[in-house]
Amino acid sequence: MKILVTGSKGFIGKNLIAKLKNHNYTDILEFSRETNIALLDEYCKEADFVFHLAGVNRPKDQSEFMDVNYGFTSILLDTLKKYQNTCPVMIASSTQAEQNNLYGISKKAGEDLLFEYSKKTGAKVLVYRLQNVFGKWSRPNYNSAVATFCHNVANDLPIKVNDPILEMKLVYIDDVVEELLQALNGNENLVQGYCEVPIVHTITLAEIVDLIYSFKKSREERSIPNMSHAFTKKLYSTFLSFLQENQFSYDLKMNVDQRGSFTEFIKTPDRGQVSVNISKPGVTKGNHWHHTKNEKFLVVSGHGVIRFRNIDSNEVVEYFVSGDKLRVVDIPVGYTHNIENLGDTEMVTIMWVNELFDPEKPDTIFLEV
C-alpha cells in the first residue's frame, strides 16, 4: 500500500510517518516544501491513500493562507484527477473553519474543495477539523500555545497569558495519529459529515501554565505528577520533549555518612516515594519500626540480610537478599527491622515507602531487632 503524506516534515506529518513505519507501512510517499514539485505527479499517480497535512497557520504573509490551505489543495486534487486516481483523501482542517478570519476562511475553502472533488469523482474524503494539537515535535510560536509555553518554561523564558480563564479544547498528537490510522483502515470517527479525534481535553490556560511550571519544579523537588490524570501525563511528556540535550539530567542530594548513603529519587503525591540506599560492607541500617508507614526493599547489587522481629516477640526472622536474584521484601508495620550488608562490596537497595517523609510525624520508632 502506497501512502502519500503531504506536509511530511510538519508536526503531525512527522508523528504520523513515525507511527506508520512502526506499523510496518514501508511504502510512504513523503512530500514537503523541500520536495521537488515534479514528484507530486508520480506520487498522485501511485498513491492508494492520501494524508493531506500540508498547511500554514502562522505565515509571514497573509496571502499564504489561501496559497497553501486552498491553492495547494487544489493542485493536489487536480493532479489526482489527472491520473483518475480516486483513492481516499484525508485533509487536516481546523475548528477555525467555522470562524470568519483569514485562516478559518482558507481552511473552509480547502474543505469545500475536497467535498466538491468527492461529488465529481466519487472518491472517499475525510475532513478532520482538528483543534489545538499538542505533543512532541511541535513548534513553539507556531503550532500551539502549549508548545510555546513548554518551550519557554523549559528554557527559562517568560510567557504571556492574555486570558488565564480561557477554556481550551486540546487533542494530543498520539490520539490524533491513532485516529488517522483508524481512518486508513476505514474505521474513522465520523460525526455529522466531519471526522473527529474522539479524545478531547478541556482545560483553562491558567491550569495549563500551572501544570507546566509544576513540571519544571518537580525536577528540583524530585517529584512526579499524578500520571493517573490523562491530560497531565500527556502534557508532561510534551514538556520533557522541549528540554535541551544538555538539560536531560539533574542532580540528586546524596545524604552521606560513614555507613554509606541515602538518596531520595522520586516523590509522588499519591504513591509514596522511592529512594536509593547504599550500605558499606558490614554496615547495618534500620533497627526501627512503624505504626502505619510501610516499605518495600529491593537489593539490586551486593548481598545481605533483612531481619524482622515482631515488637511483642523475641523471635527474629531473616530474609537473605542479593542482587543476583531480585526479589522484593515487604516491611510490615509492627515489626522492627534492619538490613545488613554481608558482602565485601557496597550493597545497593531500592526502597519504596508508602508516604512522603514528614519530619513532624516521622512514624519511626527506634528498637533493636
- Nearest partner of 272 among 216, 334, 224, 232, judged by Cα: 224
- Choosing from 43, 103, 128, 335, which is the catalytic residue? 103
Burial label, 331 (beta-carbon count in 10 A; 0-12, 13-18, 19+): buried
Q: Which amino acid is at 290?
A: H
Buried b (16+ CB within 10 A) or exposed e, 299-315: beebbbbbbbbeeeeee
- Nearest partner of 266 among 277, 252, 255, judged by Cα: 252
Please name the residues in contact with 239: beta carbons below 8 A apart, sequence gap of 6 or more.
150, 153, 154, 212, 215, 216
Beta bridge partners of 257: 260
Helices marked H in the chain: 11-22, 39-46, 64, 73-82, 102-121, 145-154, 173-184, 205-221, 230-240
Rounded distance, CA 143 to CA 10, Å? 10
Sort residue 139 into left (φ over 0), alpha (ψ -120 to 50) or beta.
Answer: beta
- Annotated active-site residue 103? The verdict is yes
Which residues are tagged catalytic?
103
